[in-house]
């Protein structure tokens, strides 16, 4: 069994050790050290990275059979090696992990809810609480207590106890990564005792701020997303960047942003209403013009027109307006990156608009359909003139 030095000292990140076993894991060389400070994935905390003998460490895990710590390498290493742990990553894990112990206990004391899950990754830190619902006030109260414990700069210590004497120690689950002869208990002075095999800061002041940033329902409970220390600061940077862009774009202060956005939404709604009214009036003028220039044939007025600056909805609207008049057949189209065609007739006529649509779309490999009185569809891109020619051919 590898001696796990990080149990007693989570701050050493530069050391030398002897390789006692070399193996292959997923096509990579992997080594077991006589003793290691590298943390293997477990207990919700990701493994450390860094170098062993100058070679990058890709993964660190506990071998289930003998609890040996296996370091997967991006190359070869042998003998006595100098080892370097990526300290920024490790310290970040220590901040998040110790912060989690405190936040979990804060929710126990202020909301009477237990933590049933913990997840820590590069982009996210969450705890899952067995609460059906939590109010913003409950979250604020727990968060406030957690930060009070941070500012009191309490000591964080670990000790081994007899598993039989574990009564009174909070245990989320039996820590699977825990390879010791006793139960390892992590204590936040006068606040929390938890069985845990992870790496923690020595004093709560080193956690920095503990900030809840999100809440969502999860598997019948509540998932709390939070950030500690540097992560909280980086999250703050991100939010300042985003809100700064918004306050500058809307020329207002931070607290005025919601009102400014609401004003913008109201203005937008008013304008949409105005545009709709204007479009209706415009279509009325256009319809009168198109009807005046319709071709009389077979007892009907034919209107055949292709455009290149319309959308399909506006075209449908125009066609609908035109066939309100008696004895009208309309074949309208749009050219451009995609073609669109609509064929419609007044209700009392008998021509099959579906058949006309198929003929009009044929040159563009198009698809579409509808009813005998009105059909529409689209096809590959074509110019306005090509669409006009196809519509005239379909009209026969
Ligand atoms: Zn822990």
pLDDT at 74: 97
pLDDT at 367: 87
pLDDT at 170: 64
pLDDT at 231: 97
Ligand 1 centre distance from Cα of residue 261 (Å): 43
HEC profile of the chain: CCEEHHHCCCCCCEEEEEEEEEEEECCEEEEEECEECCCCCECCECCCCEEECCEEEEEEEECCCCCCEEEEECCCCCCEEEEEECHHHHHHHHHHHHHHHHHHHHHHHHHCCCEEEEEECCCCEEEEECCCCCCHHHHHHHHHHHHHHHHCCCEEEEEEECHHHCCCCECCCCCCCCCCCCEEEEEECCCEEEECCCCCCCEHHHHCCEEEEEEEEECCEEEEEEEEHHHHHHHHHHHHHHHHHHHHHCCCCHHHHHHHHHHHHHHHHHHHHHHHHHHHHHHHHHHHHHHHCCEEECCEEEEEEEECCCCHHHHHHHHHHHCCCCCEEEEEEECEEEEEEEEEECCCCCCCHHHHHHHHHHHHCCEEEEECCEEEEEEEEECHHHHHHHHHHHHC
- All structural domains of the chain, each given as residue ranges with its CATH number in brackets, are 3-85 (2.40.30.130), 90-247 (3.30.980.10), 294-395 (3.10.310.40)
Ligand 1 centre distance from Cα of residue 115 (Å): 13
Ligand 1 centre distance from Cα of residue 95 (Å): 10
Ligand 1 centre distance from Cα of residue 7 (Å): 11
Ligand 1 centre distance from Cα of residue 101 (Å): 6
Ligand 1 centre distance from Cα of residue 200 (Å): 6
pLDDT at 176: 46
pLDDT at 178: 53
Of 333, 295, 131, 94, nearest to 224 by C-alpha is 131
Ligand 1 centre distance from Cα of residue 62 (Å): 17
Ligand 1 centre distance from Cα of residue 147 (Å): 17
Ligand 1 centre distance from Cα of residue 194 (Å): 7
pLDDT at 310: 85
Helix 229-249 vs helix 87-111: angle between axes, to the nearest 10 degrees?
Answer: 90
pTM of the model: 0.77
pLDDT at 111: 96
Regions of the chain with pLDDT less than 50: 173-174, 176-177
Ligand 1 centre distance from Cα of residue 8 (Å): 13
């Amino acid at each position: 069994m590898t001696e796990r030095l990080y149990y007693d000292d989570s701050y050493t990140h530069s050391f030398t050790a002897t390789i006692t076993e070399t193996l292959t894991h997923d096509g990579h060389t992997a080594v077991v050290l006589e003793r290691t400070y590298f943390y293997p994935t477990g207990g919700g905390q990701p493994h450390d990275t860094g170098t062993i003998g100058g070679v990058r460490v890709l993964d660190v895990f506990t071998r289930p059979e003998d609890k040996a710590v296996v370091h997967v390498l991006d190359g070869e290493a042998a003998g006595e090696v100098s080892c370097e742990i990526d300290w920024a990553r490790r310290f970040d894990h220590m901040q998040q992990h110790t912060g989690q112990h405190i936040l979990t206990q804060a929710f126990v004391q202020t909301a009477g809810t237990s933590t049933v899950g913990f997840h820590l990754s590069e982009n996210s830190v969450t705890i899952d609480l067995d609460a059906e619902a939590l109010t913003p006030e409950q979250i604020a109260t727990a968060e406030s207590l957690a930060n009070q414990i941070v500012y009191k700069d309490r000591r964080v210590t670990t000790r081994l106890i007899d598993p039989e004497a574990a009564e009174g120690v909070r245990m989320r689950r039996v820590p699977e990564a825990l390879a010791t002869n006793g139960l390892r208990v992590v204590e936040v002075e006068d606040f929390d005792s938890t069985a845990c095999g992870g790496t923690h800061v020595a004093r709560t002041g080193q956690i920095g701020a503990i900030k809840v940033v999100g809440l969502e329902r999860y598997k019948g409970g509540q998932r709390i997303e939070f950030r500690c220390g540097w992560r909280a600061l980086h999250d703050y940077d991100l939010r300042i960047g985003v809100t700064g862009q918004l306050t500058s774009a809307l020329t207002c202060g931070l607290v005025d942003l919601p009102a400014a956005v609401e004003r913008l939404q109201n203005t937008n709604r008013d304008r949409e209403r105005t545009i709709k009214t204007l479009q209706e009036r415009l279509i009325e003028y256009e319809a009168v013009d198109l009807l005046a220039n319709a071709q009389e044939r077979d007892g009907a007025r034919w209107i055949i027109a292709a455009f290149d600056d319309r959308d399909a909805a506006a075209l449908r609207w125009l066609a609908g307006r035109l066939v309100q008049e008696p004895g009208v057949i309309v074949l309208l189209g749009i050219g451009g990156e995609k073609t669109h065609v609509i064929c419609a007739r007044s209700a009392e006529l008998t021509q099959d608009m579906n058949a006309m649509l198929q003929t009009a779309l044929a040159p563009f490999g198009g698809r579409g359909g509808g009813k005998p009185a009105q059909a529409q569809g689209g096809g590959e891109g074509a110019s306005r003139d090509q669409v006009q020619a196809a519509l005239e051919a379909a009209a026969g």
